[in-house]
Structure 1
Amino acid sequence: MATNADTVSKPSVLLQDMEEVKKVFERFDTNGDGKISSEELAGVMKALGSDNSPDEISRMMDELDADKDGFINLQEFASFCKGDSSTDGGSKEIHEVFALYDQDHDGFISVTELHKILSRLGERCSVHDCENMIKSVDSDGDGSVSFEEFKKMMTNNKKPGA
């Protein structure tokens, strides 16, 4: 996830409820201690294919670590996820997430790419499971997910004006 020195992108359109937020938090908290360290954050970003510098990771941590204890707890993570959308309605964040999954940068998420990313994140799902996930979003039936299909899926539960 690209960041600048002033802000960290807030994926508010991506995480709709606390249960979803908790699942993502637990995926980041690899040692299960109830908090995300800068090393854990860096590891997840790397697994997603994002090559963040130590300075970028440090800026992310500074932005998210509200109580300045050096870790991100569930409450801080939830606040980040529920934060306000950027002025473009979250489109930038959706592009960033799409790019993480679109490993070959061809503008589509294939079954293979989805399986690869989910496996890197420790998800136990088969290629068949990934095919079904792709089919559920693939409105034109081409066997992959375009950015427009991905954006529609990611904003599907978002209420107008929210």
Structure 2
Amino acid sequence: MEAIPPLHSEPSMYLEDTEEVEKTFNRFDANGDGKISAEEFSGVMKAITADTTAEDVGHMMKEMDTDKDGFINLHEFATFCKGETNPFASTGDGGEKELKEAFELYDQNHNGLISASELHAMLTRLGERCTVKDCARMIKSVDSDDDGYVNFAEFKKMMTNDRNNQPQPN
């Protein structure tokens, strides 16, 4: 499930690869000017979920826009994708509400589980090209109870895992 794209400004382990970061950045940067504006970011978020508010977009932009120029450049986007910022830290509840909202975007049938087909549907909406089989492999990588689905506890563990403290390969 490492290939989940960012939602509610949550980093994705999938985007630790420089080429994937750049590819995703370019999808957000609709006009190709080398920076993501609030309007471009809003457009992507609204494609994911129709109920994204201007306030939501503003909060996410503020978290990623470290040089405070009103845009997200490739460096800021890459830093975010590598998990070097934690936009959930400032919410006071550990980001529980935002994590639940992100989980619910994927859990389309609202049964408390993300299936390979639900993950595939969301990634397809985001313009990702993958198969349901690819999504099943992603799910298997975080499915600690081996039921073939990702429940909220598994999702939360994956999304809040501090990768910066993990041992790095030599």
Contact 1:102–1:108 (8 Å) recurs in 2? yes
Figure out how many residues of one structure are paired with residues of the other and give that number.
Answer: 151
Kindly indicate whether residue 114 of structure 2 is the aligned counterpart of residue 109 of structure 1.
yes
Q: Percent identity?
A: 56
Corresponding residue for residue 134 of structure 1: 139
**Shift, 1:157, TM fit:** 2.7
Q: What is the one-letter code of the residue matched to 1:153?
A: M
* CA offsets 1:11-48 (integer angstroms, 9 cap, x no match): 46x56858375554334223433211222211211222
* CA offsets 1:129-158 (integer angstroms, 9 cap, x no match): 111111222222222100111223231635
Give the SS at the match of 1:39. Answer: helix
The 10-residue stretch of structure 1 (149-158 or 61-70) with the greater mean CA deviation from structure 2: 61-70
The 10-residue stretch of structure 1 (23-32 or 114-123) with the greater mean CA deviation from structure 2: 23-32
Unpaired runs of at least 5, structure 2: 1-7
Corresponding residue for residue 165 of structure 2: 159
Corresponding residue for residue 34 of structure 1: 34
* CA offsets 1:82-114 (integer angstroms, 9 cap, x no match): 335335555454334323222233221111110
Please give the alpha-carbon distance, in whole angstroms, between the structure 1 residues aligned to 2:64 and 2:158.
26
Unpaired runs of at least 5, structure 1: 1-8
Please give the alpha-carbon distance, in whole angstroms, between the structure 1 residues aligned to 2:28 and 2:95.
22
- 1:4-153 matches, within 5 Å, as 11=10, 14=12, 17=16, 19=18, 22=22, 24-58=24-58, 60-61=60-61, 64-65=64-65, 69-78=69-78, 82-84=84-86, 85-86=89-90, 87-153=92-158
* Superposed CA RMSD: 3.3
TM-score normalised by length of structure 2: 0.66
TM-score normalised by length of structure 1: 0.68
* CA offsets 1:106-132 (integer angstroms, 9 cap, x no match): 221111110011101111101111111
Contact 1:48–1:101 (8 Å) recurs in 2? no
